[in-house]
Amino acid sequence: MDKILQSTGRGHSVTVTNDGAAILKSLHVDNPAAKVLIEISKTQDDEVGDGTTSVVVLAGELLREAEKLVAMKIHPMTIISGFVKGREKMQVALIGVASDATLDVRLVLLRVFF
């Protein structure tokens, strides 16, 4: 779904987009966590060109859960350690289900169907 962005700065430009990265790039925030989320989106856009909204939603949920743990008096380094362990387990799982992108597409489709 397209969003309408209206600039209040010089030029008062109007942009219509459904690109999460474009929307986030147009924001001016002071909150450090929000700045991190915008930077994550920019990095995702630069590296992959897609998935910017997904990485922001995922990172936002990780921050939300971390905030709950901090409220429970769990030390931030313990939370970070848990995130690192989770990332390591996720990498192993992804490697386990990854496929070789250099294979001929026809061979991949044959493997899927037979």
Q: What is the mean pLDDT of each run of 10 residues along the chain (114 residues)?
A: 66 72 79 89 88 90 95 97 96 86 75 78
Helix (H), strand (E) at residue 18: none
Confidence at residue 12, expressed as pLDDT on a 0 to 100 scale: 72
pLDDT, residue 23, reads 77
Note the pLDDT of residue 11: 67
Q: Report the pLDDT value the prediction gives residue 3, as an integer from 0 to 100.
A: 62
pLDDT of residue 82: 97
Given CA atoms 16, 20, 22, 28 in this order, what sign does their dihedral have? positive
Cα of first residue to Cα of last residue in the chain, in angstroms, is 38
